[in-house]
Structure 1
Amino acid sequence: MCTLKQVSYQNLGWASAAHLYLPSDFDESKTYPAIVSTHPIGSCKEQTSGSIYARALADAGFIALAFDASFQGESGGSPRFIEDPSIRTSDIRFAIDYLMSLSFVDENKIGAIGICGGGAYSIHAAITDHRIKAVASITGVNFGRLLREGFSQFDPVSALEAIAKQRTAEAKGEQAYILDYLPNSVEDAKTAGISDIDVLEATDYYKTPRGQRSNGKTSGLFSFNGAALGWDAFLNAETLLTQPLLVVVGDKVGGFGAYRDGMEIYGRAASNDKHIIVAEGISHYELYDQPEAVNLALSSVIPFFKDRL
């Protein structure tokens, strides 16, 4: 079994909190390939990015670092619950900086993996940070595209106007509006007429003992969402994403759009070493923690990183 260490390191003007997973046969005198694991939107390091994927990678012999995003979880930064893609991408860079400071990490063998929004953030980081030598996206979602579409009822301009109004109100002293991305329960969702598989399964994961953790708040500061509405996770992938790429998606398509985003980045990436795994009969949230789906993903992810790091 791997070993987990609680660590922290300097970010911009605050500290990042992370879990460092070490292989069971860890020897500090040796060097190891290392992988940064990035959590989904509204999630935390104790959930799928850490307890599932980072742990499995450490069990396979890698150093794995699962961190809390800035303004979220146990990481610092204020105001809380900002979800800014530029900062989220910067968080990955700071995680790599931390790994580079460790004598037992091989600085030429750094990988990145992310789940849901974290998958797209990992890809975006790899586009311009070529310390990342290989990147894997598990059911990755382009958060900017999602905000412009489903999360704004396909009316992003009205959403931007509402964000602007709210930010001005908060600047004048009114209370911050912290939105919850999900219903309180699956029953509440169904009562409200929601039938989308992604919303229902997300609620089952985040709002029940299955995946619920104290730091996984599924929350966002509405007044700071404007930056995300204008962001594209895959910008310049056609020319700059040259590293090996692995994309894993399920073919049970839901409203968050991981399947279409996976197909898009697979097509757009400049890499000559790119692969897409479409898991038949598997949904977005099954790839978070369900053994059959996770084992299917890891059966490709672990060899992918072992061959390239």
Structure 2
Amino acid sequence: MKNMTFKNKDLDVAADLYLPDGFDPARTYPAIVSAHPIGSCKEQTSGEVYGKKLAEQGYVVLAFDASFQGDSGGEPRYIEDPGLRVEDFRCAVDHLVTLDYVDADRIGVLGICGGGGYAVTAAMTDRRFKAVGTVVAVNFGRMMREGDLSPDAAVKMLDAVAQQRTAEARGAEPRVDDVLPSSPQKAEELGITGIDVVEATKYYRSPRGQKPNGVNRSLFSRMGPAVGYDAFHLAEQLLTQPLQIVVGGLPGEFGSYRDGFELLNRARSQEKDILVVPGASHYDLYWQPEATERALNALIPFYNKNL
């Protein structure tokens, strides 16, 4: 694995490039762009779990930090803007096709959690992606619109975002939200019981998955675009590439189980499949060896066939 950067306009996007065992620069290899979850970073599940294992199977894997996040450039920090996130994918391919050892006709994409939703959007408008894999993909816009599940949740949030952005334009301190409790113990003290938030806290706020850049922080004033985003918009028309979806069999409040089936039903892809990993939660599929092995046992043959 080697650290590198590629450009998204004038920003440097930081990435880890995983190379196959016995890598020979005189050969050409298929490649996969691997995208991290919301609030995550390349050193966590997209790189150190899925990226590393796919490289062992003969793929060049590019796991990157989203612009304005992690080691990538961009100010202010902690922006979660779907348009910016999707452009990162296109720029990742721009970089891969300049590498002599990458076969430009054999590039796939993999996204985990919110990165899975972005991967779908990117593949619909960048035909250089020949195969699409998702692990517990979440339609981030759907999740943001639901909010507290009231009919006006989205409108109320947009009103608050507008007020905060105006305040910041006038000189107020930015509002940066920590979207998870500070520790598993704090989550317990707060009486949090939802499986996804509890397990997210155990993953991101303990040695299980903790990394310096996996901070799960969000700049509230820039959340407007996410509320109006639909990761699967036009999938019925534009998503034609082979598609492998992986979800856990234990549904949680983030909704990756139902989003996986919605994607399956909406995609125009002639070749499409969903694997439900029995007994696995959303976050088991980030790190838990048995669960991630089940996911990879579906993804590796899928990419082998289609790349």
> What TM-score range do you get, normalising by the shorter chain?
over 0.9
Give deviations 1:179-227, integer Å, cap 9, x for gaps.
1111112222222221100000000000001101001110110000000
State the match for 2:271 in structure 1.
Answer: 273
Count of paired positions: 306
Tell me the distance in 1 between the aligned counterparts of 2:105 and 2:27. Answer: 14
Q: How does 1:193-208 map to 2 (within 5 A)?
A: 193-208=191-206
Q: Whole-Å Cα distance in 2 between the matches of residues 145 and 164 of structure 1?
A: 19
Residues 288 and 144 (structure 1 numbering): CA distance in 2 closer, same or farther, change over 3 Å? same
* Partner of residue 211, structure 1: 209
Q: Which residue of 1 aligns with 2:83?
A: 86
Q: In the superposition, relative to structure 1, how do residues 101 and 235 fare at CA in structure 2: closer, same or farther (>3 Å)?
A: same
1:225 alignment counterpart: 223
184-193 or 219-228: which moved more? 184-193
| CA deviation after TM superposition for structure 1 residue 75, in Å | 0.4
User: Helix, strand or coil: the match of 2:278?
Assistant: strand
Is structure 2 residue 35 aligned with structure 1 residue 35?
A: no
Q: Deviations over 1:239-294 (max 9, x none)?
A: 11000000000110110000010000000000000000011111000000100000
Residue 152 of structure 1 deviates from its aligned partner by 7.3
Asked if 1 retains the 8 angstrom alpha-carbon contact of 2:110 and 2:134, the reply is yes
Give runs of ≥4 in structure 1 deviating > 4 Å: 151-154
* CA gap 1:131/1:225 in 2 versus in 1, 3 angstroms: same
State percent identity of aligned pairs: 55
Alignment counterpart, residue 72 of structure 2, candidates 70, 75, 97: 75
Are residues 152 and 16 of structure 1, via their aligned partners in 2, closer, same or farther at CA, if it must alter by over 3 Å?
farther
Task: Determine the C-alpha separation between the residues in 1 that align with 2:148 and 2:247.
Answer: 21
Matching residue of 1:109: 106
- Give 1:153 shift: 6.1
Distance 2:222 2:93 in 1: 26
Distance 1:159 1:26 in 2: 49
* Deviation at residue 150 of structure 1 after TM alignment: 3.4
Partner of 2:257: 259
What are the within-5 Å matches in structure 2 for residues 168-187 of structure 1?
A: 168-187=166-185
**Partners of 1:151 and 1:140 in 2: CA distance:** 21
SS state of the match for residue 283, structure 1? coil
Partner of 1:17: 14
CA offsets per residue over residues 25-68 of structure 1, 9 Å max, x none?
Answer: 11101100000000000000000000000100000000000000
1:165 aligns with 2:163: yes
Q: Which secondary structure state, in structure 1, belongs to the residue aligned with residue 279 of structure 2? A: strand
* Helix, strand or coil at the partner of 2:5: strand
Partner of 2:9, secondary structure, is coil
SS at match of 2:47: helix
Measure the CA separation in 1 of the matches of 2:149 and 2:230: 16
Q: CA RMSD in A?
A: 1.0
Paired with 2:9 and 2:222, the residues of 1 have a C-alpha distance of 18
Unaligned runs of 5+ in 1: none
Contact conserved, 2:147 with 2:154, CA < 8 A, in 1? no
SS at 2:25's partner residue? coil
Q: 2:111 touches 2:118 (CA, 8 Å); kept in 1?
A: yes
Question: Taking structure 1 as the reference length, what is the TM-score of the superposition?
Answer: 0.97
Taking structure 2 as the reference length, the TM-score comes to 0.98
The DSSP-based 3-state class of the residue aligned with 1:204 is helix
* Contact preservation (8 Å) 1:150, 1:255: no
| Distance in structure 2 (CA, Å) of the matches to 1:253 and 1:210 | 21
Give distance in 2, aligned partners of 1:152 and 1:167.
Answer: 24
